[in-house]
A and B are shown apart, each in its own frame.
Chain A
Amino acid sequence: MMTTPDAATAPAGTATPALEARSLVKHFPVHRRGRRTQRDAVVHAVEDVSIAVPPASITAVVGESGCGKSTLSQMLARQIRPTSGELLLNGSPAADRGAREYAGQVQMVLQDPFSSLNEVHTVGYHLARPLRIHGPGPDGGSLDDHIASLLERVSLSPQTAGKYPHELSGGQRQRVAIARALAVRPRVLLADEPVSMLDVSIRLGVLNLLADLRERERLAIVYVTHDIASARYLGDTIAVMYAGQIIEQGPAAIVTDRPSHPYTQLLLAAAPDPDRPSPAPLAGRGTPPSLVSPPAGCRFHPRCPFAMPICEQQAPPPVKVAPGHASACWLHASRPGTPRDSGPGPGPAPLTTASQHDSRPTRGENT
């Protein structure tokens, strides 16, 4: 059931992406005590992000808190207006569509199912509202039939319609939230950390539901998460974000098995992994930079173990390291036929995962 469409990162590929973002930028003005202090001070929350989500596929956006992944998903939902950039829905500019028409195609599932459902209304009410507003669809039938079928599609019993949110477990609530998003028959589902509030043992159930919806309903899903292991499990494509930019993008298994950007390698080394005989050494400790005055050049260079002079001066362009796999890192641009072919570079180290598995210090040795 896990497919890895090769065209995921190539917008010019075969299928028209269900949703495509071109060079999205979001700058938030900096306020202090209610008024703007520095005239031009902005938080560079999202910088030049392009992403394409083909139908019937899942794109996982992975990053730490503050990397801009939620800002990106809110822009994709048109809940906040990008500073610049373009959104394309089924190949045509999203700006041409009204808010309701867009919401009929692109729906969101939020992180916290304990606050995204209204406690005073039944599950049935939550599902009936989008059906009333957007219309129940061409296939007729009564409202109750539609509600029952929605519940069935998320593996809940029809009796759930009469229940109130407090009578449901976290996993059931998140299923209701997904059913509500499905009510308008969207083409795109934006799921922002949909399982991080749920108990460990029921997370996979919700992730598997998203995978089923991709297959059964050909939904294009953007799965935003901080958990790279679940991104590997669910995603067809993984896009790794750091400090407001996508720094690596490619087929999920390849990005996690052979990460090509030093930051992706750092994320993987830090992730819990019981299969590892001993913790991997962390190369690039520290914290993400301030986004009010991000570092010049590559935003990762102050932490990067491979940083070169060019990394401080010029932001690296996305470099194709394999079909459908791009990495914004000068290490990969230093090969023939690319913008920079004379750099000494530290060799192919970041191209392999050797650094993750071969050196095995004993616990506590690296502090």
Chain B
Amino acid sequence: MTSLHVETLDQPAPAGGPGPGEPLLEVTGLCVDYGIGPDAVRAVSDADLVLHRGEVLGLAGESGSGKSTFAYAVTRLLRAPGVITGGSARLHLGQGREVDLLAADEAQLRRVRWAQVAVVLQSAMHALNPVYSIGDQLGDVLRAHRPDLGRAARRDRAVQLLDMVGITADRLRSYPHELSGGMRQRVMIAMALALEPQIVIMDEPTTALDVVTQREILEELAALRDRLGFAVLFITHDLSLLVEIADSIAIMYGGRIVERAPATALFRAPRHPYTAGLLGSFPSLHGPRVHMTGIAGSPPDLHTLPAGCSFHPRCGYAMDRCRTELPPLRPVTRPGAAEARVAACWLQDGSAPPPAELARPEPAPAPGTNSTTGGAA
């Protein structure tokens, strides 16, 4: 699957890579197991996801849904006993050049990582080296990936990067423990952007932070994205946050993507019962206080995934077919639907009208809001 043009990767990528809204990263049929042989547990099954240029794509799910495993597999950061057992992740570099990250060798990965695909992890305290100063760690990235830069140029770039995330230059000499949680996460974001990547993968980047700090960092991130045009794969369990910041959202359950839609459409008109249940698990800040129920039962154990649709034991609409047959992820279209969306649910196969909760009309795409994909060039 690896492209013939991969050898030319070390040449500087033409400015911009693929055009706005074009696919940047195409993941198809990704399967990841933990362990080998009969005891293996399938953490991600047949996951398809396309990240477009300049887009914020949200990946939401509960613990054990496979959302982090997805990110680690795509970046080839997955550690044993995790094994990628199938699929491809084609990264488009513009002018028809592409590389399959899942098939790439170490040398190819080294050219792509950080320069094209950067990662921000949840625990900045663990991701930063406690015995090196912030300046040293930023300089390290630049020394490894931009050998043409001299010491002074590296320092200038480090100052510039910190300034981008609102940290003053005097912090270059600080050690991670001297920074607040919010500042550490800002340093992680500055580091991820050091080589101006096309894609930034963020795994619960703000979960450990207080709401005010979280909001500040998300605002900074949106401004940087508008300026630099990178795409974000934002992984979190907080769907209410994702609806606000993402262009489109994919929902994972039991290792599979069960629904994918533009953020507003997913929020206003969910098509999968799990999405509807998850949206109903976040109490609102407005309106009358109503009794809410969340979702009955608990997330499945990957060792003993239920047959058929893995959500059926918790689903209020489960039918006989759901207990035996796995619903495929396929397009759901309604009159007035402006954009393609997919869901993996037998209720949406067109044979019978789905329950009212799962058949709300598509929202009209509002101009200037986050209902358009890749609109941030």
The residues of A with any CB-CB pair to B shorter than 8 Å are 1-2, 64-65, 169-172, 199-205, 208, 226, 228-230, 232-233, 252-253, 256-257, 266-279, 282, 285, 287, 362-364, 366-367
Contacts and interface: CB of A to CB of B under 8 A. Distances in A.
Contact of A270 (B215, B225, B281): B215
Contacts of B222: 363-364, 367
Given A204-B292, A204-B293, A267-B211, A273 B219 contact: no
B281 A233 contact: no
Nearest to A204: B294
A64 B284 CA distance: 19
Contacts of B238: 200, 272
A266 B212 contact: yes
Contacts of A2: 289
B116 to A, nearest CB: 24
B3 interface: no
B292 A233 contact: yes
Contact of B211 (A64, A230, A253, A363): A64
Contacts of A277: 366, 369
A346 to B, nearest CB: 21
A208 to B, nearest CB: 7
Given A274-B267, A276-B244, A364-B219, A200 B211 contact: no
Contacts of B215: 269-270, 279, 282
Contact of A204 (B281, B289, B368): B281
B10 interface: no
A363 B375 CA distance: 12
Most buried by A among B180, B298, B366: B298
A273 B210 contact: no
A199 B62 CA distance: 6
Contact of A199 (B63, B211, B282): B63
Given A170-B298, A287-B212, A366-B219, 4 more contacts: A226-B210, A229-B285, A275-B284, A367-B219
A98 B291 CA distance: 39
B269 to A, nearest CB: 13
A205 B237 CA distance: 17
Contacts of A170: 298
22 contacts: A64-B210, A64-B211, A171-B298, A199-B62, A201-B62, A201-B295, A201-B298, A203-B281, A204-B294, A205-B293, A208-B292, A229-B283, A268-B285, A272-B211, A272-B238, A273-B286, A274-B243, A275-B284, A276-B244, A282-B215, A285-B212, A363-B222
Contacts of B283: 204, 229-230, 232-233
A362 B219 CA distance: 11
A77 to B, nearest CB: 24
5 closest Cβ pairs, A-B complex = A204-B294, A233-B283, A274-B243, A201-B295, A270-B215
Contacts of B63: 199
Interface in B250-287: 267, 277-278, 281-286
Interface of B is mostly: loop
Contact of A200 (B214, B237, B293): B237
A78 B239 CA distance: 37
Most buried by B among A201, A233, A275, A276: A201
A232 B219 contact: no
Nearest to B291: A1
A282 B215 CA distance: 8
Given A169-B298, A279-B244, A233 B289 contact: yes
A342 B266 CA distance: 52
Contact of B282 (A169, A205, A229, A364): A229
Nearest to A233: B283
B211 A232 contact: no
Contacts of B294: 200-205, 208
Contacts of A278: 369
A168 B267 CA distance: 31
Interface string B287-310: 001011111101100000000000
Nearest to B216: A285
B75 interface: no
Contacts of A230: 283
A201 B299 contact: yes
B370 interface: yes
B160 interface: no
A226 B286 CA distance: 18
Contacts of B213: 287
A267 B214 CA distance: 11
Given A201-B295, A202-B295, A204-B292, A287 B219 contact: no
B170 to A, nearest CB: 17
Interface string B138-172: 00000000000000000000000000000000000
A285 B217 CA distance: 11
A172 B298 contact: yes
Nearest to B253: A201
A88 to B, nearest CB: 29
B220 interface: yes
A200 B62 contact: yes
B226 to A, nearest CB: 5
B281 A273 contact: no
A322 to B, nearest CB: 18
Interface in B170-221: 180, 182, 210-216, 219-220
